[in-house]
Structure 1
Amino acid sequence: MTNGGTQSLNKGFFGWIERTGNKLPDPVFLFFYLILFVVALSVVADLLGWAAVHPIEVDPETGERRVIAATSLFSAENIRRLWVEMPKTFTHFHPLGYVLVVMLGAGVAERSGLFGTAMRAGVRNAPTFLLTPIVALVAMLGNLAADAAYVVLIPLAGIIFAAAGRNPIAGIAAAFAGVSGGFSANLFPGQLDALLFGITQAAAETVFPNWEANIAGNWYFIFVMTFVFLPVIWYVTDRIIEPRLGTYSGSINPSANVADDSEPAEDAQDRPLEEGEKRGLRYAGLATLGVIALWLLMTFGPGTALIDETASAEAQFTPFYQSLVGGFFLLFLLAGWAYGKGVGNIKSHRDLVKMMSDSMADMAYFLVLAFMVAHFVAMFGWSNLGLITAVHGAEILQSLDMPAPILLALVVIFVAVMNLFVGSASAKWALLAPILVPMLMLIGVSAETTTAAYRVGDSATNIITPLMVYFPLILVFCQRWNKDFGIGNLTAMMLPYALWLLGAGLALIMLWVAFEIPLGPSSPVFAPPPTS
């Protein structure tokens, strides 16, 4: 296949980003090297006597705040701890359980075809005028389907735009902007929330061991973000990108526009829904309603199993929030199973078990990464370097007396720039959270707020960095319609989306913080540091 324009890879700012990013090791080894760095730094810090006064804990003998001193990871205690507690360090890493449980269900929904069919049904009959916003909305909701949104919806959007007489590359751009630029926007929490809040909890526990993550802690924020990003993607697509691309005059069959048409055509994605698929969607809808009804019954029905009526008013719904990980597992599992029964690709319980097993096989890389990240986070905590950095960082922030909206905006910008070099959302948050989360909690900014700011910065620049894992795939999708479309064309096309989404996200987080709107149920913008 012709790859026109790819010579621009080695030129300009984005060429420098790609060359620099390609020099970074795999995230697994990146965290291995960070562990070595933390070990060396802990030795130096111990020798130099780095210390800080704990913001909460009191020495029972003196009645004064406890002093935290840096501890060498080469000490006999920490060496013993590393090897003796290695299984515990790995298996007790919060994101591990959260993500694996949700993915057991989501894997069935993906492999049964539910996610792909639901996205096709959502966009294929859209009116021409509403085509862009419908594609963008389904793309953002498609984040619940993880990789399926990239491989199903984005090429399908190009076909649908072409069939409607519009430029197909504009459809690809709108879908890519929704799936990746609107990565954190959604109407419901999902796999990403489980992953990020698992890391947030691990980071918060280094200073506040009793803090509990709430997977719905950003629910209100991501819900509103969806409807903030939607008109942005609509405007940029229809008013900026499509006029620049011009009128498309080629075939509506993408394989007819490339020099090498030996690769499979994507137009099968646009076929009408078959009766089995429609039946599967109906079954999946009934299963979804059933799970929702079950959770409402357990929450408000006899016995209120998911409400702790003995707790304080603020803590009564804690069991409900903690149950959402299991709730999403059951929702995806039963909806995917029901869809599979409807279309006939789940004929027995063995088919279901195989789909669940295959989904765990896909998590193999995550398990390897989680092993290394878990030890980085744990050893960072054992050294006390994270706590000392957070305490002194909080003191500096307090002395600057910076307005909270400005402070959170700086966090967003920092993350957006870092995202150009480290594409993995989990790896990046695992690197930043141990310092950002406790540091901001110490000055009264809730962990949910910090996580929300991270999500805004992490989303916007996904679509302009060649280091994003799906960036080459999107380029291939575009080249099916224009064989001379290169990586420079793709980056230039997506840059307006990145700038507009970043600006909208910054405005949203700053206004949200300024008006102190809860980010989710029982998730205020500001909260006093939790007591031990």
Structure 2
Amino acid sequence: MNRTNSSKSIRLLNYIEEKGNKLPHPVTIFILFTFIVIVLSHILYVMGTSVTFEGVNNETMETEMLTVEAVSLLVPEGIAYMFSNVVSNFTSFVALGPVLVAMLGVGVAEKSGYISALMTNTVTKAPKRFVTPIVVLMGVLSNVAASVGYVVLVPLGAIIFLGFNRHPLAGLSAAFAGVAGGYSANLVLGTNDPLLSGISTEAAKILDAGYVVNPTDNWFYMFASTFLIVILGTLITDKLIEPKLGKFVPTEPMGNQNNEVSAIEKKGLFWANISILLTILAIAILVVPENGPLRGEGGSIITSPFMSSIIFLMMVIFLIPGVVYGVVTKTVKNDKDIANLMTSSLETMAGFIVLIFFAAQFVALFNYTNLGTIIAVKGADLLQAIQLDGVLLLVALIIITTIINIFIAADSAKWAIMAPVFVPMFMQMGIAPEVTQVAYRIGDASTNIVSPLMPFFPLVVAFAQRYGKQNGVGTVISLMLPYSIMFLVCWTIFFVIWYLLGIPVGPGTNLNY
């Protein structure tokens, strides 16, 4: 491989990596931000800071001119609020419950081996000319199961390419581009949809207490984005990355690279897939008929028990085939094993739970002090003064997100910080929270693959070193940089066109607030 570590771009990214590694843990960042909110709230309170704007009255739910003043956290009432609401801030945080519930099902499907076998079986059966797009597509689809794509599909992509006598690092790059670069795209809902929509809901309530962003509210755009990412990922891999890598010459024996699905696993997949069809059929019986019990008032689907129960249904759709697969393949022998798989899946969420605890405190205190409203109104006034329109505002948010993403890799951590500022600010500019969330997701996903602080980046480097001990951080960044740039540019253009055409980003959504 022609190394490019000495190039300006790689030297810059290595510099960012070095400096980024010195940043504190996201938990510490939230603690620091919380202290900043406490101090800033008192300063603005003493200064008598207030804003007047047109908003929704939380009591009458009618639009009127509202005046909001800064509330101090260092007066007796503020101190009492901080101490007495710690638990409720955490347990009532919108993003917490949906993600944990979804993971009960997704975790069983992952831990029983069903998801791994399904991806392996799908990719290994692909005709040679379709290998690249299928690897990228499976990477995108794997995001429904959180981190399983990084652990299973990234190394599998290298193995598949090697099996077709292609360079394994090209397969690794294609899979990584799909998993991380296409993180926000998918044909179905993933665990990040309820997480981000929950944070967006909390942020939107700063201005409109009755506003709810549903997990499905970005689905139209993310569904279409899947095909864009697959096309771009395929072209970059086949036309740029693989020719640059040249022919793979192993420096040491590669060992057995066979990753076939065994007979018992195929049997498990068959019955698990049958169980999915039966589960979807059962759900359809409850939803499709006009008088179905999961229909809403007047037969509505958009506002209905079905939409309210989408997280539980997601859990069931993964739980049932996971159990069936486990029973057939003997990874599940009794009810205790099922409970243990659920427990194991939630254990992997421990870091997320700790992060959410501190993020919830920050968001709650930020909302209590009215800082979000003040910043939103002042920011909207500034943006109106410089006469930026909706498209330029959204593009600016995409760019800001890509920069922040280099330093704060966790999407939930970034959005928990950014949403309370940008969601209400853009609402003041007439942009719906669902659209603001889409812009954020584009910027976040595009630079995942070149962020050394992304939690799974070291794992990808380790996978790359299987095919050459000299492969390091610079190797992976140099391979992934073309994907990052092309994803960012083309995805942003696609989003601008989508927005200008006035197409809803999800069912029942509006582009304007």
1:51-66 equivalence runs, <5 A: 51-57=50-56, 65-66=65-66
Indicate conservation of the 8 Å contact 1:90/1:375, yes or no: yes
Indicate conservation of the 8 Å contact 1:55/1:391, yes or no: no
What is the alpha-carbon distance in structure 2 between the residues aligned to residue 8 and residue 348 of structure 1?
57
Q: Does 1:306 align with 2:294?
A: yes
Shift of 1:216: 0.6
* Paired residue secondary structure (1:55): strand
Match of 1:275 in 2: 263
Shift of 1:443: 2.1
Indicate conservation of the 8 Å contact 1:38/1:380, yes or no: yes
**Alignment-mate amino acid for residue 488 of structure 1:** G
Q: Deviations over 1:463-490 (max 9, x none)?
A: 1121111112111211111222222122
1:252-331 equivalence runs, <5 A: 256=253, 267=257, 270-301=258-289, 303-309=291-297, 317-331=303-317
Match of 1:49 in 2: 48
* Distance verdict in 2 for CA 1:67–1:493, change over 3 Å: same
* Distance verdict in 2 for CA 1:75–1:318, change over 3 Å: farther
Identity rate, percent: 37
What is the alpha-carbon distance in structure 2 between the residues aligned to residue 79 and residue 407 of structure 1?
37
Q: Deviations over 1:328-368 (max 9, x none)?
A: 01111112111111211111111101111111111111111
* Paired residue secondary structure (2:95): helix
What is the alpha-carbon distance in structure 1 between the residues aligned to residue 57 and residue 145 of structure 2?
47
Residue from 512, 515, 518 that aligns with 2:501: 515
What is the alpha-carbon distance in structure 2 between the residues aligned to residue 409 and residue 380 of structure 1?
26
* Distance verdict in 2 for CA 1:266–1:398, change over 3 Å: farther
What is the alpha-carbon distance in structure 2 between the residues aligned to residue 139 and residue 151 of structure 1?
11
1:75-86 equivalence runs, <5 A: 75-86=75-86
Indicate conservation of the 8 Å contact 2:372/2:420, yes or no: yes
Q: Which deviates more from structure 2 when the two are superposed, residues 289-298 or residues 195-204?
A: 289-298
* Distance verdict in 2 for CA 1:8–1:367, change over 3 Å: farther
Match of 1:221 in 2: 221
What is the alpha-carbon distance in structure 2 between the residues aligned to residue 210 and residue 276 of structure 1?
51
Indicate conservation of the 8 Å contact 1:404/1:513, yes or no: no
What is the alpha-carbon distance in structure 2 between the residues aligned to residue 266 and residue 34 of structure 1?
50
Residue from 397, 411, 422 that aligns with 1:411: 397
* Paired residue secondary structure (1:420): helix
Match of 1:468 in 2: 454
Indicate conservation of the 8 Å contact 1:49/1:69, yes or no: yes
Shift of 1:10: 13
1:145-294 equivalence runs, <5 A: 145-250=145-250, 256=253, 267=257, 270-294=258-282
Match of 1:337 in 2: 323
Shift of 1:66: 2.9
* Distance verdict in 2 for CA 1:302–1:66, change over 3 Å: closer
Match of 1:367 in 2: 353
* Distance verdict in 2 for CA 1:151–1:48, change over 3 Å: same
Shift of 1:105: 0.8
Indicate conservation of the 8 Å contact 2:250/2:468, yes or no: no
Shift of 1:400: 3.3
Q: Deviations over 1:275-303 (max 9, x none)?
A: 22112112221222222222222223374
TM-score, normalising length: structure 2: 0.94
Shift of 1:322: 1.9
* Distance verdict in 2 for CA 1:316–1:429, change over 3 Å: closer
* Paired residue secondary structure (2:467): coil
Match of 1:31 in 2: 30
**Alignment-mate amino acid for residue 489 of structure 1:** T
Indicate conservation of the 8 Å contact 2:14/2:474, yes or no: no
* Distance verdict in 2 for CA 1:449–1:239, change over 3 Å: same
Match of 1:506 in 2: 492
Shift of 1:43: 0.9
**Alignment-mate amino acid for residue 228 of structure 2:** V
Q: Deviations over 1:91-128 (max 9, x none)?
A: 00000001111011111011000111111011112222
Indicate conservation of the 8 Å contact 1:59/1:66, yes or no: no
Shift of 1:266: 7.5
Match of 1:120 in 2: 120
What is the alpha-carbon distance in structure 2 between the residues aligned to residue 98 and residue 375 of structure 1?
18
* Paired residue secondary structure (1:56): strand
What is the alpha-carbon distance in structure 2 between the residues aligned to residue 20 and residue 85 of structure 1?
36
Shift of 1:250: 2.8
What is the alpha-carbon distance in structure 1 between the residues aligned to residue 57 and residue 244 of structure 2?
64
What is the alpha-carbon distance in structure 2 between the residues aligned to residue 143 and residue 196 of structure 1?
14
Q: Which deviates more from structure 2 when the two are superposed, residues 229-238 or residues 205-214?
A: 205-214
Q: Does 1:487 align with 2:473?
A: yes
Q: Which deviates more from structure 2 when the two are superposed, residues 436-445 or residues 345-354?
A: 436-445
* Paired residue secondary structure (1:480): helix
Match of 1:525 in 2: 511
What is the alpha-carbon distance in structure 1 between the residues aligned to residue 318 and residue 424 of structure 2?
33
**Alignment-mate amino acid for residue 123 of structure 1:** V
* Paired residue secondary structure (2:212): coil
* Distance verdict in 2 for CA 1:316–1:163, change over 3 Å: closer
Shift of 1:25: 0.8
* Distance verdict in 2 for CA 1:59–1:139, change over 3 Å: closer
Shift of 1:318: 4.0
**Alignment-mate amino acid for residue 264 of structure 2:** G
* Distance verdict in 2 for CA 1:412–1:242, change over 3 Å: same
Match of 2:483 in 1: 497
Match of 2:386 in 1: 400
What is the alpha-carbon distance in structure 2 between the residues aligned to residue 49 and residue 361 of structure 1?
46
Q: Deviations over 1:384-424 (max 9, x none)?
A: 00011111222223333323222211111110111111101
Shift of 1:316: 5.4
* Distance verdict in 2 for CA 1:435–1:141, change over 3 Å: same
What is the alpha-carbon distance in structure 2 between the residues aligned to residue 31 and residue 316 of structure 1?
35
Q: Which deviates more from structure 2 when the two are superposed, residues 286-295 or residues 173-182?
A: 286-295
What is the CA RMSD across the aligned residues, in angstroms?
2.4
Greater relative contact order (CA < 8 Å, ≥ 6 in sequence): 1
* Distance verdict in 2 for CA 1:94–1:47, change over 3 Å: same
* Distance verdict in 2 for CA 1:370–1:249, change over 3 Å: same
What is the alpha-carbon distance in structure 1 between the residues aligned to residue 233 and residue 10 of structure 2?
28
* Paired residue secondary structure (1:144): helix
What is the alpha-carbon distance in structure 1 between the residues aligned to residue 73 and residue 287 of structure 2?
46
Q: Deviations over 1:493-531 (max 9, x none)?
A: 1111111111111111111111111111102222x3xxx
